[in-house]
Copies of this chain bind each other. A is one copy, B any other.
Amino acid sequence: MTYFPHSETDIKEMLSVIGKKNLEELESPIPAKYIVKTLNLPSQKTELEVNQYFDKLANKNKNYSTILAGAGSYYHYIPSTVDELTGRQEFYTAYTPYQAEISQGTLQAIFEYQTYIANLTGMDVSNASMYDGGTALAEACVIAINSTRKNKILVDKYVNPEYLEVLKTYMGALKVEIVIFESNPFKLDVEAFKKIWNAEFCGFVVASPNFCGSVIDYTGIVDIVKKDKRLVIQSVSEAMSLSVLKTPGDMGADLACGEAQSFGMPLSFGGPYLGFLTCKKEHLRKMPGRIVGQTKDSDGNIVYTLTLTAREQHIRRELATSNICSNHGLCATRASVYLSTVGGKGLRTCGLANIEKSHYLYEEISKLAKFKVEKSQIFFNEFVVSTDIAYDKISKKLEENGILSFLPLAKFYSSLSNYYLICATEMTTKEEIDNLVAILGSL
């Protein structure tokens, strides 16, 4: 299957207009020694063959029948409108909306996205998307570094470890020192914070919900950081929690960043997801990436356009706030469709369903003799379970039953060697929970 609209006659005619004898003459600027004879690839396939080939590959995946795992990638319901409406070819096959007059669809959808995300995070400004939760955190830290001119940052230990790794990569190159705040997985110890904090840090990165699922009350440290004119950055790896939790803005954060995969992105083995980044007004000029603004056209109609581009790489080049160019715009459009479809009531009840299901699971597990939950943990849809049963035994049993759950926290934290992360969402059925608990009980 190829996609070349030329007939043999067209090619001949075009070559003759150009004044070439054959297609190969067009290669002439390339030294002959660099011309490839033929690529060592399989032969062209018909669409039917392609389809059969990928059906076979897809069948090699064996999907779980139950997913009770999150850890930065959440199994939520995607309303039927999301694929249907975002799938419109006009959204799908457009480039970045450089020509506003024929790109109002993308522009308005993104403007609506910005409104949703800014409001859900309690901030003034959202950009048009980042790649993912990890890079969004790195870019947020760049803002903090640039606006404070400090080369050190304090980061909570229980920030999503994937994000932390990304942050280390980005900061390492900039020679920014990351200091880990060895906090408690379940709550923030203000006294410990006071001990480690000083104005040499450009800011503090707190995760809530953190990687253990805990909702963290960090209001106690906001004034401490603010007094030094440093920034509080909240990293949110489960955007669905914004449906019920106090916004980062209301908690006192200056920047919020994170992952909005939950707003309509399929699990898709980890990508593409939807990074978001929002800030209070005063940081606007330091924001990375595209931003859509409202304006008027020459008829006086309200319209939308890419704006404040003087921050960006194509204008500022090496002085730009970031190097990001293509972002995850279609994912942002998906989020717009998702949030518009579910609306306020849908988002709220979805959040409530997450709390209800996960707390039911928590209660049921807490009744099992061989498993322990943390009594004090405040969580949205994910929590920590500990047990002395060997991981292999649990994992084998769950695999046999087609259940993805019990992510071992030991992979990420040596201190949590018998601890597991477990998650329930609105997708989880009571039967699935009861089934899991029965299986655990039998171990």
Residues on A lying within 8 angstroms of B by beta carbon are 47-48, 51-52, 77, 79-80, 84, 89, 426-427, 429
Contact = CB atoms under 8 A, between A and B. Distances in A.
Main secondary structure of the interface of A (DSSP, over half): helix
Contacts of A77: 47-48, 51
Contacts of A427: 48
A47 B79 CA distance: 7
A427 B84 CA distance: 28
Contacts of A80: 47, 51
A48 B342 CA distance: 11
A9 to B, nearest CB: 15
Contacts of A51: 77, 80
A84 B77 CA distance: 23
Contacts of A426: 48
A361 B80 CA distance: 42
A89 B77 CA distance: 23
Contacts of A89: 84
Given A47-B80, A48-B427, A51-B77, 7 more contacts: A47-B77, A47-B79, A48-B77, A48-B426, A51-B80, A52-B429, A84-B89
A370 to B, nearest CB: 31
Q: Which of A48, A52, A79, A429 has most B Cβ within 10 Å?
A: A48
A77 B52 CA distance: 10
Nearest to A48: B77
7 contacts: A47-B77, A47-B79, A47-B80, A48-B77, A48-B427, A51-B80, A84-B89
Q: Which of A77, A89, A429 has most B Cβ within 10 Å?
A: A77
Contacts of A48: 77, 426-427
A47 B350 CA distance: 12
A370 B443 CA distance: 54
A79 B51 CA distance: 9
A200 B177 CA distance: 100
A-B interface, 3 closest residue pairs, ranked by CB to CB distance from nearest: A48-B77, A47-B79, A48-B426
A51 B82 CA distance: 14
A430 to B, nearest CB: 12
Contacts of A84: 89
Contacts of A47: 77, 79-80
A428 to B, nearest CB: 11
A48 B52 CA distance: 31
A427 B46 CA distance: 12
A427 B55 CA distance: 13
A133 to B, nearest CB: 24
Nearest to A341: B47
Nearest to A76: B48
A79 B48 CA distance: 8
Contacts of A79: 47
A271 to B, nearest CB: 23
A171 B264 CA distance: 54
A79 B3 CA distance: 14
A48 B80 CA distance: 10
A413 B425 CA distance: 56
A89 to B, nearest CB: 8
A89 B81 CA distance: 12
A52 to B, nearest CB: 7
Nearest to A79: B47
Q: Which of A47, A51, A79, A427 has most B Cβ within 10 Å?
A: A47
A52 B66 CA distance: 13
A234 B51 CA distance: 35
Contacts of A429: 52
A79 B46 CA distance: 10
A426 B47 CA distance: 12
A89 B47 CA distance: 25
